[in-house]
Structure 1
Amino acid sequence: MVSIIPNIDVRQKDANQALVVAISSSAVFESSDDIDGVHSVGVAFSLLQALQSVNRRLLAENPEESLLFDVLLITTDSREQEQSTRIINSTKHYGLDVSRFCFSCQDNFIESLLQNNVQLFLSMEPDEALRVSQEGVLSALLDQQKSSRPSEQLRVLFCDDDDDDGGGGMAPANRQTAQRFWSRLGDIRRRFGILDSPLSIIVMTSHKGRDSCGDALMMLRSHGISADEAYCLAGAPRGPILSVLAPHFLLGGLR
């Protein structure tokens, strides 16, 4: 059984224009309760803040803007579903711009993602992300060790492989689906100038040399994405620089 609950306290996005992102509730909130009877924040809390910051700036530039991030919070754990009211109240308590809440069992949650036109699914569970990507929905893993500090800028890193040595990774996905998401993300980035953008696109190549990085930049540019930063590691470990760059999530597929 699938239950979709709209959040009446936030502005609902245009389903045909918005970039729909589904995030596992277990990544946003810890299971423990705080003194106010709401969940404490999890590793994806700063990601939600950053998505919200991009939307706020887009609407400040154009109150009629329809190309916005539309966030769906999905819960598949049966114990968490029993606390659905607490999850909803926690979201409102922290002022998070979540449009809809989806409560579903593991057997049906992928169907709910497809029905809601989800274009990116974010989770801390590798098996869950892999299952979603095999159904054609772009998915990425969130770093379980990353602290949830306030963030006013969404930082998205494109990389040339899926190895996970410190920053989270991306499960395989249909390339056409991935490129469609890249294009929409590039459209959002172009809404802002070079400086003081609430969205930063980073490119990092781990193998080969400068030519590999140049090829990656050109390939992304062909899909409408211009990078704000680019790094060519040429075989060096990427963990140290990831800790400095602190991307909210990684998208592979550049090779």
Structure 2
Amino acid sequence: MSSDISNKLVIAISSRALFNLDDSHQVYMNEGLEAFARYQIEHEDDILTPGDAFPIVKKLLGLNQLVEGGGRVEVLLLSRNSADTGLRVFNSIEHYGLDITRAAFCGGTSPYRYATAFGCDLFLSTEPEDVRDALNHGIAAATLIASKSKPDHEHELRFAFDGDAVVFSDEAEIVYKKQGLKEFSLSEKASARTPLSGGPFKEFLLALHGLQVEFGEHCPIRTALVTARSAPAHERVIRTLRAWNIRIDESLFLGGLSKGAFLKAYGADVFFDDQRMHCDSASEHVATGHVPHGIANEILLKP
């Protein structure tokens, strides 16, 4: 096992995102930490069923078999669960043949503080509070929303991203929320040659792009920007990505159309969006990560 993960794409997953821990979580919620620990010890030889993030994790780890030299992707666990959960989780990891060796089990407290120490590029969880903590500390993070639909491509990993408040800052979305569509369009046209500031997923997208470059022509990773923007607000987005030297494989400017059918057509393994209503709609077609960042979420949090 390498002692250096600084040159890897590092993805942190909560144990409840990787495996279905609903039964034991219910014990914790109803009876407390001690009963939860006792339950896990009693069931530590019972293999857990895959959770919402399992297919994504399997594909991520599979990339190590394809890149020259291997070992470019690291998946680790960051969990609120206790160490008693650890044995059952690692037994299940071994059962499914997943190359996951590092973990932090935090006994009921938020594990976000270890994301920076591990050098994580992305944190996926089912706990919204942990996701918000991670985002507030500069780490790309999302709350996974399950989808019954599964992509039918086995040999590619396809990421899809909303633009404003995810890849980009919410500076343009603030104009839209406060002044309306007309002023937003005028503002974006006037600022077309001024790059947008980076959002919480900029660095993760950069890391993905770096891995794509390593793979070269036959890259098993694809990326798509799926945004409600339309012309003339498209130009600033294109010029911003160009300024960042990031290549996006596919860009969809939908002009307010529902994104679900387009994400299904693209075949996204996971889609990231800041607005919960868009996430709920998208999750009917693809696995979705809610990014609770930006003005849309600040409005929701107001009393």
TM-score, reference length from structure 1: 0.76
Alignment map for 1:90-239 (pairs within 5 Å): 90-107=92-109, 109-147=111-149, 151-161=154-164, 175=198, 178-194=201-217, 196-207=218-229, 209-239=230-260
Q: CA deviation at 1:53?
A: 2.2
Question: Corresponding residue for 1:249?
Answer: 270
- The residue identity in structure 1 corresponding to 2:221 is L
Give 1 or 2: higher helix fraction.
2
Question: Corresponding residue for 1:166?
Answer: none
Does residue 70 (structure 1) correspond to residue 74 (structure 2)? The answer is: yes
Q: CA deviation at 1:247?
A: 2.4
Q: CA deviation at 1:176?
A: 7.2
Partners in 2 of 1:87 and 1:179 — Cα distance? 31
Q: CA deviation at 1:193?
A: 3.6
Checking the alignment, whether the CA contact within 8 Å between 1:140 and 1:249 is kept in structure 2 is no
- Deviates further, 93-102 or 106-115: 106-115
Checking the alignment, whether the CA contact within 8 Å between 2:121 and 2:139 is kept in structure 1 is yes
Give 1 or 2: higher strand fraction.
1
Partners in 2 of 1:219 and 1:16 — Cα distance? 27
User: Bigger relative contact order, structure 1 or 2, given CA contacts below 8 A and separation 6+?
Assistant: 1
Shift of the 119–21 alpha-carbon distance from structure 1 to 2, 3 Å rule, reads same
Which sections of structure 2, spanning at least 5 residues, go unmatched?
25-42, 171-196, 275-293, 295-303
Which sections of structure 1, spanning at least 5 residues, go unmatched?
1-10, 163-168
Partners in 2 of 1:216 and 1:157 — Cα distance? 15
Checking the alignment, whether the CA contact within 8 Å between 2:159 and 2:268 is kept in structure 1 is yes
What is the root-mean-square deviation of aligned Cα atoms in Å?
3.1
- Deviates further, 226-235 or 139-148: 139-148
- Deviates further, 138-147 or 40-49: 138-147
- The residue identity in structure 2 corresponding to 1:69 is V
Checking the alignment, whether the CA contact within 8 Å between 2:61 and 2:75 is kept in structure 1 is no
- The residue identity in structure 2 corresponding to 1:97 is D
Q: Which of these residues, 8, 19, 36, is aligned with residue 9 of structure 2? A: 19
Checking the alignment, whether the CA contact within 8 Å between 2:80 and 2:106 is kept in structure 1 is yes
Q: CA deviation at 1:252?
A: 5.3
Q: Over residues 78-111 of structure 1, what are the superposed CA-to-partner deviations in whole Å (9 max), with x where a residue is unaligned?
A: 4xx4232110011111111213122113535122
Does residue 53 (structure 1) correspond to residue 62 (structure 2)? The answer is: yes
Shift of the 220–129 alpha-carbon distance from structure 1 to 2, 3 Å rule, reads same
Shift of the 240–178 alpha-carbon distance from structure 1 to 2, 3 Å rule, reads closer
Quick one: percent identity of the two aligned structures?
Answer: 26
Question: Corresponding residue for 1:165?
Answer: none
Shift of the 241–116 alpha-carbon distance from structure 1 to 2, 3 Å rule, reads same
- The residue identity in structure 2 corresponding to 1:30 is N
Question: Corresponding residue for 2:89?
Answer: 87
- The residue identity in structure 2 corresponding to 1:153 is E
Checking the alignment, whether the CA contact within 8 Å between 1:13 and 1:70 is kept in structure 2 is no
- The residue identity in structure 1 corresponding to 2:259 is R
Equivalent residues, number: 227
